[in-house]
Amino acid sequence: MIPNMPVPPRSPRSDTVGAQLSVAETLCEQRGRRLTPIRRKVLELLLRHGRSLKAYELLEAMREVHPGAAPPTVYRALDFLMDEGLIHRLDAVNAWSACHDAGGAPHDLLVVCTGCGAVAEVSDPAMSRQLAERVAQTGYALATHETEIRALCPQCQQKQPAEAGHQHHHH
């Protein structure tokens, strides 16, 4: 077990969503960027769901609010939010998730549940530095400062048959 592992948020309360949207607006204003209503809505949907969402899920949720929402609109909003560090793109599950600590420390490790798409953000600068150094020894440079770790959240672990985790113990 990794120490200081944050518990991934399950359905966040609306007051925390409001607070996080305010932080996002302030961050954008300070950088001279605009959090347009569409961008704000995409971020709000990701914050409210408390887990990662695929593009089509976001589009469906957007269409409930903006019936005319088109895929390019949603993708442009996602690109903007990613550039501003307000959301994470998760290749492990081909989805996006809100950054729940946009104004705080950068998280270098994103622990992604491949079962349900839940995400835990972990900041471990020492481990990230070691990883970057190890990669540098191969002559490569890390393309991103975030590392995705594919894992199963506690809920999905409970759904798995008990023997699944013990296969590697048989000799």
- Give every CB contact of residue 158 below 8 A, 6+ residues apart in sequence: none
pLDDT of residue 7: 47
Round to whole Å and give the CA distance between 86 and 27.
Answer: 9
Pairing, β 109-113 against β 119-122: antiparallel
Detail the residues annotated as belonging to a binding site for Fe cation: 107, 145
pLDDT of residue 1: 47
Per the listing, tokens 């996080």 go with: 20
**Which segments of 31-170 does DSSP mark as H helices, in order?**
37-49, 55-65, 71-83, 125-137, 154-159
The pTM score is 0.70
Detail the residues annotated as belonging to a binding site: 107, 113, 116, 145, 153, 156
Would you report the helix, strand and coil content of the chain in percent, each value rounded to 5?
45, 15, 40
Round to whole Å and give the CA distance between 59 and 165.
Answer: 36
Residue 154 has pLDDT above 80, yes or no: yes
Contact between 28 and 84 (Cβ < 8 Å): yes
Residue 114 has pLDDT above 50, yes or no: yes
Mean pLDDT of 30-35: 95
Over residues 2-17, the pLDDT tens digits come to: 445 554 444 445 578 9
pLDDT category of residue 100 using cuts at 50, 70 and 90: confident
Domains of the chain: 14-163 (1.10.10.10)
Detail the residues annotated as belonging to a binding site for Zn(2+): 113, 116, 153, 156
Residue 36 has pLDDT above 70, yes or no: yes
Residue 129 has pLDDT above 90, yes or no: no
The total number of residues written for the chain in this structure: 171
pLDDT of residue 8: 45
Average pLDDT, the chain: 84
In angstroms, how far is the first alpha carbon of the chain from the final one?
Answer: 24
Contact between 119 and 150 (Cβ < 8 Å): no
pLDDT category of residue 45 using cuts at 50, 70 and 90: very high
